[in-house]
Structure 1
């Protein structure tokens, strides 16, 4: 590195004027008549030395994640100082080296930026794929840990932040160079900077505006140069910059972008429309309408509208421009529509016309949703009568995206345009909705139910039609074993809205409850799946919430009598208990006769399902009156040894509900010591199921009072009992949730003690420690990032196969090998996979890959996991993977070419086929690593696949499944792989489906 930094400055024949560096940042509009190139000597070959040094530095940066801090101390300032390099090609390589440094930094602080640029808005020459081609990579590269979004002092992000002024100062002059290549390099570098550090240029907008203006208005600028510039503006606008920083520059930006929209080349016009859309959001952000200044946007309203309108009404333009004009106009009307009242009469009919067109209808639906959702209350009444039948027809189409977008638009219209005269147009829509309520597509069913709920809340006379058509389908959906989450919430809201509406007098709460409960009370109700019964119980509770207390008590009595009736079937008792549980969460049932005794009696039932429902019911009913029920539950746990497992589950329900309650310390505080003491009595139970329940209770109890309870949990780590240590470490796992908690700061200080159990002599303790480690790495990597130097050696140690853990078991005439260390190794490799996603910057990737290589030769389950790790590593660390390609290809080749024995059973054939498929997916990804096409072993392997008919067809199907072309990997000499990441329309491995 020292050698490279020295030779990167090796230019003995040229004297750089240091005075240039001290010039002010003011824009100098006069072009320089003389170019530095005039001073270069034709015989001077020193540029080759400098270029080689820059390339070598880029290779060091790309492969050594662990030296990131050192790079920012030594390499980054040197690279910035060399942005003034006189040779164009050398300058480009210096830019590439700095971009490599930024890309290495991104995983560390990528949690800062949750926003994605608009589709198609990325530099042509940078290899940055558009967000619609890399959803999986983006989701996985963004940290799941909100705490990791903070930039640690003296960390890479902090050092980069300090160097931003120097970067901008060094690039300020370069952005007005005549060389297109230099300017593209500048915009590429700045784009990467704001992707890594959103908001970094907030204080330096004035320094980059002249360069933007020059590249878009200069006559010699190429199309690619203009597109790159527009892409940079787009990134600048969308990546969390405060909107106010752009307002002073609107007089320059707006005319420049409007001019680009009118460009005759469709690609430039298309990109400019995307930028214009973002610019509209910036010059008038609706979120801050109270503090807005009309002067910041009013002068530009007419210009912006007219330039977009020209593109909108044109019918003989490129499809991409047409769609982006529609989207842009939707944004303009949503943000500036109150100042365009007279223009609506000419604009809305065109949007209606685009809605009728099969090619543009989806884009128009999304644009109209934006307009209808605007808090400016744009008047769309003129087009609603004609638009509603068209939208209704979209609900019959096979295009799923169109259905989803149409349902969102219709719901927005019902909520915001709910006058009786407007709602008359809904008749064709309502008749189509019943067909969409199905378990076959729960997302569409959810949006349909949300729309029906909005209709019900308007209390329109059309609710009679809804009750006759959509209600039967909604009732049928409640029985579905697939119903859960948002769809279930939407269904409950629909039932509540329907009961509260007055337009359907014969559909009151009692009638709806009869319709809900009826199927379960029938003899064939046992055929309803248990998950379906749980969903039905939740819907029953939602309807009961709408009733008066007296009516609710009648329902409770009916379910209680169902439990005591001698002729009740097990499935009916299960449903009654589930219904009482859901009702009891919000209503105090302590005054309802002998509720405790009725529920406890169900603990003795012969059916395990009834017992489990009784346990769930007791816990949830307790939430309605903790003072009455919690001491009772604790007393039962103490005295009823045969029911302890079920009673502990009831306690778990209480604690789980309270751990997410903001007032939980006040409510549960007086009982915490008694609960804690009772739980610790069962920490060493021989039954693993009981220990797991206890661990969950302890972990969630720590969330309620962490300052007091976490140290007590930590002290228990010193117990001589392995069972106690297992329970305690498992409990710590339950304190780590994906949401920020008050316990996080305490956990960060103490988690190291818990993870020391990775060295525990007991196998089970080490396994649960790995599971806890994985949970922390997945949900809150900031907790364990600083501990990795000490914990990784122990993690890697658990990936090794140990002979002492393999034993032979005789099964009749056969001997069977049992590997007691397999679960431990699987847990270790799962942890490695998570770390690759969340802490890649803290890993020595070469050591990491060494252990991945071992996993490629291990058990079936571990092989499947390591194939995924190879694919992820190839995306995140392609240079490092390239250096180990021979070691990775060898085991992959062995798997792909292995043949199953002739006498093998069907399961072995299926297992081997799945292994081959997964291995070939990994091969396909490795083939796209830059430079893999020059690797002899990789090429030999690809040729072998191509020349083996069975493998070739399997590889082709894998490639199709992965949305990547076969020709890219199997083409002549693998040429298709060499251009990866450098072509706007080229194959992008991030588009492959690795799920």
Structure 2
């Protein structure tokens, strides 16, 4: 590296850098020895300053060494620092730049003494009579050191802020830029220490964000409308705009850009000042959307996007804008919306693709933060959307961004606000569906799917005449649905979109259904598209329009086969579709057709996936209600019911799955299937307890689940309730085991929740007697049962419980648990507050 031959030096430095990059970072050993061996020679090469090229390579390698092996070189840190500091005053900018990089890597691992030496040197350099070049270097180095060691730099920040603020007023654009970049580093890395300087930093940024001495924006404002009209009419000017201001000597744009970036840092890190930012920064940023330099304008947009993101983070979701108090960030943002729209109005029709993309990004963020905010401004946004979707003016990415914004707009605003603009909004979207680039087509289909919901919302009444658009929407989607040689994403989007079209517009496509529904059947048979097709058919089957599904008899066997596939998402979606078909198309189904589904059900009733089991029970319930004959088969008693009983006894059964289980048993007992009447079901549910022998046990949750199931079927056969209650009272009085005693109490309690049991004489006394049992489980079950029967008749049982609490101090704990059950589970407890307190 110190050879006089340039070629040899270059090869050596490349080799040395490669070796350092590949050395293992483990401390000690070969890596440590190598690093220590070369460090001293590198620092000597830096200090000599004989050959600049050698010096530059040495600085690069030292920076790499410090970044990867800084801790290993701790004994050399002082020597390295002493070699680096003089280079900050080098006449060569490249040397100064590499020295700054090395210093910033040094502070990652140096001790406090070394760190303070560097900080003191930088401060002395800023405080002395340095020229502007040296000032720029010291400020850059201070910012770099802060970025790498903000937690340590905070102790010294006060002195640096004052000096840098002083230099920011000098007539040197490059110096101003570095001052603002330093403040950005301070804001990001020393958030606590910089707090008191935030107002002055913001003021400085606002001052320099508008610093453009070589341009008159007033003239631009006067010509702005004419220029926008020319752009819309296609009068493109090939000449570069603002050539007279693009002189290389004009560095003011860098100052403005640094100011915008610093403001973004302030906004992103100081959420506590958010309301104040809307008062001081929002209008200023919007006013600068007209910035002439593309890169600066982009940073201004991102500063405002940061403001929107902070607003979203500062408030909870689902806030009603009409109920917002003044001075909150959301309220203040709402006041700014008209100005934001006005600010982006002309920018959305700029030639610059980057500017238009930034506009769409900002508006998307606004929709996310304040849904519905643009409802009164759709008409102002349409021309910009049209312009960006035009073939002549847009790249592929531009079209994708425009379509993505339309989707965001459609999903965050009520349908009626778009109805006046559908004639101009729909055609470019339809054209985009036919685009040759698959990403544009996929995004356009996504937008078209939302537009279908907008032109004819099914959940709210609408007077909008959508009929002129139905055929065009259908045909452009059908072309994509039919195509077999298209991208997978486009295939899936075409299926989903056609599903939405049939769901919302199917009654106006009666003649076309014979063409598109068989296509769904074909896609259902395709392994790649079957999941998307199942979801699309679920939309159609759930449509309130009652779409005629001619393919249902062919589809059900295919859907039944999906239930045995080892793909959870497919099984779950198929169960949802089957339930929808059974409920909405029961007349098109029969017992034989449903056997394709019933045959696949037993393996799904497993505790390992309760969500699948829950929806399987939902389907069984629907079949029991609408096609009970389908359950009059051996498969029901031989395969399905044993799996159901295993699930009932599972300790995991609770919540939604348990609720579905109860609904299934209620539907089953009502449909009166032979050999599955009330008595048979009761015996089946009691047998797990009655058949316990020796030391066999069931999980505690199983007792509760079985008791709830007994109560569920009993409530549906209310004439059986009192005899069953008397039987279980006998069981608790003459229990042969604790299990029988506990189960009897739980069943009485669960039935008592739903049926008034005051006609059963002295029931509460029979339950209270179990409070004296030896077993804690029996006592707990008795407490639960007493609270449960109270829910069935509060006026009768609640005074009894309250009286017992006062008069039976030894039983207070159990009685209070009974009262707790009443308070938690009874919706009518609020009417008895006076009695409780």
Where on the TM-score scale, by shorter chain, does this alignment land: which range? 0.7 to 0.9
TM-score computed with the length of structure 2 as normaliser: 0.73
Q: Which residue of 1 aligns with 2:364?
A: 191
Alpha carbons of 1:27 and 1:249: their partners in 2 closer, same or farther (altered >3 Å)?
Answer: farther
1:238 aligns with 2:411: yes
Contact 1:95 1:185 in 2 (8 A): yes
Q: Which residue of 1 aligns with 2:709?
A: 539
Question: Partners of 1:564 and 1:38 in 2: how far apart?
Answer: 101
Alpha carbons of 1:247 and 1:262: their partners in 2 closer, same or farther (altered >3 Å)?
Answer: same
1:47 aligns with 2:265: no
Alpha carbons of 1:391 and 1:646: their partners in 2 closer, same or farther (altered >3 Å)?
Answer: same
Question: Partners of 1:147 and 1:7 in 2: how far apart?
Answer: 37
1:514 aligns with 2:683: yes
Deviation at 1:420, TM superposition (A): 6.0
Question: Partners of 1:609 and 1:301 in 2: how far apart?
Answer: 66
Deviation at 1:39, TM superposition (A): 4.5
* Superposition map of 1:728-747 within 5 A: none
Equivalent of residue 266 in structure 2, options 60, 81, 88: 60
* Superposition map of 1:218-237 within 5 A: 218-237=391-410
TM-score computed with the length of structure 1 as normaliser: 0.61
Deviation at 1:473, TM superposition (A): 1.5
Contact 1:395 1:403 in 2 (8 A): yes
* Superposition map of 1:604-683 within 5 A: 604-658=772-826, 661=827, 663-666=828-831, 668=832, 672-676=833-837
1:287 aligns with 2:453: no
Q: Which residue of 2 aligns with 1:478?
A: 648
Deviation at 1:106, TM superposition (A): 0.7
Equivalent of residue 416 in structure 1, options 580, 584, 596: 584
Deviation at 1:542, TM superposition (A): 0.6
Deviation at 1:643, TM superposition (A): 1.0
Contact 1:58 1:97 in 2 (8 A): yes
Kindly provide the CA deviation profile for residues 388-423 of structure 1, in whole angstroms up to 9, marking residues without a partner as x: 111111101000000000000100000011016555
1:264 aligns with 2:436: yes
SS at match of 2:281: helix
Equivalent of residue 461 in structure 1, options 629, 649, 657: 629
Question: Partners of 2:482 and 2:731 in 1: how far apart?
Answer: 67
Kindly provide the CA deviation profile for residues 341-386 of structure 1, in whole angstroms up to 9, marking residues without a partner as x: 1111111111100000000000000000111100111111x21222
Question: Greater CA deviation, 429-438 or 405-414?
Answer: 429-438
Contact 1:26 1:207 in 2 (8 A): no
Q: Which residue of 1 aligns with 2:424?
A: 252
Contact 1:62 1:101 in 2 (8 A): yes
Q: Which residue of 1 aligns with 2:727?
A: 558
Gaps of 5+ in 2: 1-201
Equivalent of residue 373 in structure 1, options 514, 518, 542: 542
Deviation at 1:65, TM superposition (A): 1.1
Question: Partners of 1:593 and 1:31 in 2: how far apart?
Answer: 91
Q: Which residue of 2 aligns with 1:499?
A: 669
SS at match of 2:324: coil
Question: Partners of 1:54 and 1:449 in 2: how far apart?
Answer: 59
SS at match of 1:264: coil
Deviation at 1:591, TM superposition (A): 2.0
Deviation at 1:31, TM superposition (A): 5.3
Question: Partners of 1:653 and 1:526 in 2: how far apart?
Answer: 29
1:489 aligns with 2:659: yes
Contact 2:770 2:779 in 1 (8 A): yes
Q: Which residue of 2 aligns with 1:877?
A: none
Q: Which residue of 2 aligns with 1:363?
A: 532
Q: Which residue of 1 aligns with 2:749?
A: 581
* Superposition map of 1:419-434 within 5 A: 419=587, 421-422=589-590, 424-434=592-602
Alpha carbons of 1:421 and 1:639: their partners in 2 closer, same or farther (altered >3 Å)?
Answer: closer
1:214 aligns with 2:387: yes
Alpha carbons of 1:244 and 1:24: their partners in 2 closer, same or farther (altered >3 Å)?
Answer: farther
* Superposition map of 1:692-771 within 5 A: none
Question: Partners of 2:716 and 2:329 in 1: how far apart?
Answer: 55
Contact 1:83 1:171 in 2 (8 A): yes
Q: How many residues align?
A: 628
Question: Partners of 1:467 and 1:625 in 2: how far apart?
Answer: 38
Question: Greater CA deviation, 347-356 or 626-635?
Answer: 626-635
Deviation at 1:292, TM superposition (A): 2.6
Deviation at 1:492, TM superposition (A): 0.6
* Superposition map of 1:879-894 within 5 A: none
Question: Partners of 2:539 and 2:222 in 1: how far apart?
Answer: 47
Question: Partners of 1:451 and 1:250 in 2: how far apart?
Answer: 40
Kindly provide the CA deviation profile for residues 441-478 of structure 1, in whole angstroms up to 9, marking residues without a partner as x: 11000000001111111134112136323222212211
Kindly provide the CA deviation profile for residues 567-613 of structure 1, in whole angstroms up to 9, marking residues without a partner as x: 42111111111111111112111221221221111001010000011
Alpha carbons of 1:515 and 1:408: their partners in 2 closer, same or farther (altered >3 Å)?
Answer: same
Kindly provide the CA deviation profile for residues 62-95 of structure 1, in whole angstroms up to 9, marking residues without a partner as x: 1111110111010111000000101111100100
SS at match of 1:618: helix
